[in-house]
Structure 1
Amino acid sequence: MTGLSAALSLSGMPGMPGMGGPPPPPSFARMWTLAPSPFFLVVIVVLLALYAAGMTRMLRRGDGWPIARAVSFLAGLVLLFAMTCTGLAEYGMYLFSAHMLQHMVLSMAVPLFLLLGAPITLMLRALRPAAAGHTGPRELLLGLLHSRFARVVSSPLFTLPLFVASLYGLYFTTLFDVLMRSAAGHDFMLVHFLAVGLLFFWPIMGVDPAPHRSPYVIRILELFAAMPFHAFFGVAVMMSSSLITRTFAHPPASWGVDPASDQSTGGGLAWAFGEVPTLIVLLVLFIQWSRSDEREARRNDRKADRDGDLELSDYNAYLAGLAAREQHVTAAENPIAPIA
């Protein structure tokens, strides 16, 4: 361990900013110092600019946009920045717990806030339709949403196995150690975590248009289907008697970090994040379900006002017809009426 720490202090670990060796011993303040990643910083700025441009166009056109959605999307970008452009990203190269915090937030929390911001709906409403015979950005987006590719990647038969494989297939094989050898591999993992979370929660949340729009009961079942796998992964990591990856086996000796204890902490984070975000999504689904029922009831009331409740009248006439036929059959079966 001492030899490896000395080597790290001289050469730095692959993927570390500046390649100048490990950062100082971890502390709460150092975890949240600014350490912008050029790649993720560009991604965040582009997403923020596109969302702001969409809102601006809506407002100039005289259309409103819920402020709660904008706040939610901004909160998602802030969380994304905190996970990728602070000292946490540096310590995530050395500590399993720091890395697991990145993984859980990027796959379970950031997608929720971004999706509640309804970015696809904003784009569809802000983009102008192209001229007849032409294809513009709005038409391309609609084509993608209705494509076979979108139907496949948003299907629970695809998203649920991908969600589970992102845990077991990554950490319980050598793939994780291979990807952690370079900054590109590490960034690829972080992008993968975010993409998997977005794909998994996109059809479940039901805010933006999606190729699959299952009933609320099915969405809740999809949500609960992932919980046992997530919980078991966290417990398995916490209870493991050996290190599951070589990457975090030898943190800098000066830090005084026990790799086994740090791994147990990471497993606890994985278990906790499997429960809390799920409960939040479940609450959102129940609220959406309730509002959907209220909207349906209002639509039925308006329809009844327009047509004089024709549907109820037709139903009452149907019942009256059944009663008349039943009386006719009874009279046919008993031709001699009783004498009063």
Structure 2
Amino acid sequence: MPEPLTLVTALTSWTADPVSLLVIVLLGGWYGLSARRLGRWPRARTIAFYGAGLGVYAIATLSSIGVYADTLFFMRAAQIILLLMVAPLGLALGAPFTLLRDTGPAWLVARLRSLLHGPFGKVIAFPATASALLIATPWLLYFTSWYPTVLRNGVVDELTRLALLLIGLVYFWSRLQLDPVPRRFHHLVSVWITLAEVVCDAALGLTLWFSGHIVAESYYQALGRTWGPDLRLDQTFGAGVLWIVGDLAGLPFLGALVNRMTKEDAKQAKEIDRVLDEREEAGEDSTRPWWESDPTLSERFRRG
């Protein structure tokens, strides 16, 4: 049982979780060495990977959130949101798979490319698959025996943390499309999916908030905690974290999507201007629709 949670202990309590430290050292070391080897890696991607990715992962597992995750329901809820929604977004913004493609061993890159364009890669990157994994995971965690097992079994706890991080990474990898993907989808698809996730986050939060059932009640009662909120209020706080913080965590993702859409629109506009300029220099009919000369649309236009 850790000390009673206060503002001081919330800021000063840390734990040296060996698995988390190993993940941070291995991923951080590989990313830094690979970026240096490449020599022309964007600084913004490095900041996102270390700060919003590994930094948030460290906060979720090594700070007071990790210390009190087995004691307070709302602290575990905060950890789940950070591992599922925030840290993976930072890692995905760092474009690690592109870095691996450009610097990794040839045999590994070939193997990953084969996996990416095979049936497994196409299924896992499909919008419905990645979204279903992200949405279903918290429901399965809280409303099955998974959650009590996580609290009682350290190995399951560590594996669950890594699974949450991996599920979130698969989701943001397939939605942001910064890294190579089997098939690209319009970013508006991700916007609509995000709106659906907002509804699901609200449904999960409201269910835990107003449910008369205390999740893992026997475990929390056995702790004999005499400080902090009671079990009902603790779960209410946790429901609010899952709902409100979960939705707030989606705002940076929407911002990243808008940024991607803006850049792609600007790139397409430059390509259209280039085609029009080439037609004008070649003396082509200026009344002819530009898309007939566009390399991505001309074939479709002829088929029509």
TM-score per shorter chain, which class?
0.7 to 0.9
Distance (whole Å) between structure 2 residues aligned to residue 98 and residue 150 of structure 1: 34
Describe the SS at the equivalent of 1:316.
coil
**Contact 1:108–1:273 at 8 Å: present in 2 too?**
no
Map of 1:263 onto structure 2: 235
Map of 2:7 onto structure 1: 28
Amino acid of the structure 1 residue aligned with 2:32: A
Describe the SS at the equivalent of 2:2.
coil
Change (3 A) 1:24 1:145: same
Change (3 A) 1:304 1:37: same
Distance (whole Å) between structure 1 residues aligned to residue 221 and residue 154 of structure 2: 19
Map of 1:229 onto structure 2: 200
| 1:70 Cα offset (Å) | 0.4
Distance (whole Å) between structure 2 residues aligned to residue 239 and residue 317 of structure 1: 59
Map of 1:14 onto structure 2: none
Map of 2:224 onto structure 1: 252
Map of 2:47 onto structure 1: 71
Change (3 A) 1:317 1:56: closer
> Are residues 1:102 and 2:79 paired?
yes
Map of 1:47 onto structure 2: 27
Change (3 A) 1:240 1:317: closer
Change (3 A) 1:29 1:145: farther
Amino acid of the structure 2 residue aligned with 1:114: L
| 1:251 Cα offset (Å) | 4.3
**Corresponding residue to 2:244 among 252, 272, 282:** 272
**Contact 2:123–2:129 at 8 Å: present in 1 too?**
yes
Distance (whole Å) between structure 1 residues aligned to residue 112 and residue 140 of structure 2: 32
Q: Tell which structure's C-alpha radius of gyration is larger.
A: 1
Describe the SS at the equivalent of 1:210.
coil
Q: TM-score, normalised by structure 2?
A: 0.87
**Contact 1:304–1:311 at 8 Å: present in 2 too?**
no
What per-residue deviation string (whole Å, max 9, x for no partner) do you get for residues 136-157 of structure 1? Answer: 2222232222222121122223
After the TM superposition, which residues 177-192 of structure 1 pair with which residues of structure 2 at under 5 Å, given as runs?
177-192=148-163
Amino acid of the structure 2 residue aligned with 1:181: R
> Are residues 1:83 and 2:55 paired?
no
> Are residues 1:243 and 2:214 paired?
yes
Q: Percent identity?
A: 27
Change (3 A) 1:253 1:311: farther
Amino acid of the structure 2 residue aligned with 1:187: E
**Corresponding residue to 1:152 among 123, 126, 136:** 123
| 1:87 Cα offset (Å) | 3.3
Map of 1:162 onto structure 2: 133
Amino acid of the structure 1 residue aligned with 2:58: F
Describe the SS at the equivalent of 2:220.
coil
Change (3 A) 1:311 1:74: farther
What per-residue deviation string (whole Å, max 9, x for no partner) do you get for residues 160-218 of structure 1? Answer: 22222212222112221133221011112211211221122221112111123111221
Change (3 A) 1:192 1:311: farther
Residue segments in structure 1 that go unaligned for 5+ positions in a row: 1-21, 131-135, 319-340
Amino acid of the structure 1 residue aligned with 2:16: P
Describe the SS at the equivalent of 2:252.
helix
Distance (whole Å) between structure 2 residues aligned to residue 241 and residue 120 of structure 1: 44
Map of 1:18 onto structure 2: none
Map of 2:300 onto structure 1: none
Distance (whole Å) between structure 1 residues aligned to residue 216 and residue 120 of structure 2: 34
Amino acid of the structure 1 residue aligned with 2:43: I
Change (3 A) 1:311 1:177: farther
> Are residues 1:127 and 2:104 paired?
yes
| 1:271 Cα offset (Å) | 0.5
**Contact 2:86–2:249 at 8 Å: present in 1 too?**
yes
Change (3 A) 1:198 1:310: farther
**Contact 1:95–1:251 at 8 Å: present in 2 too?**
no
> Are residues 1:299 and 2:271 paired?
yes
> Are residues 1:174 and 2:145 paired?
yes
Distance (whole Å) between structure 1 residues aligned to residue 198 and residue 14 of structure 2: 34
**Corresponding residue to 2:90 among 113, 130, 139:** 113
Amino acid of the structure 2 residue aligned with 1:45: V
**Contact 2:205–2:239 at 8 Å: present in 1 too?**
yes
What per-residue deviation string (whole Å, max 9, x for no partner) do you get for residues 43-97 of structure 1? Answer: 11000011011111112xxxx2111110010011011111112332121011101
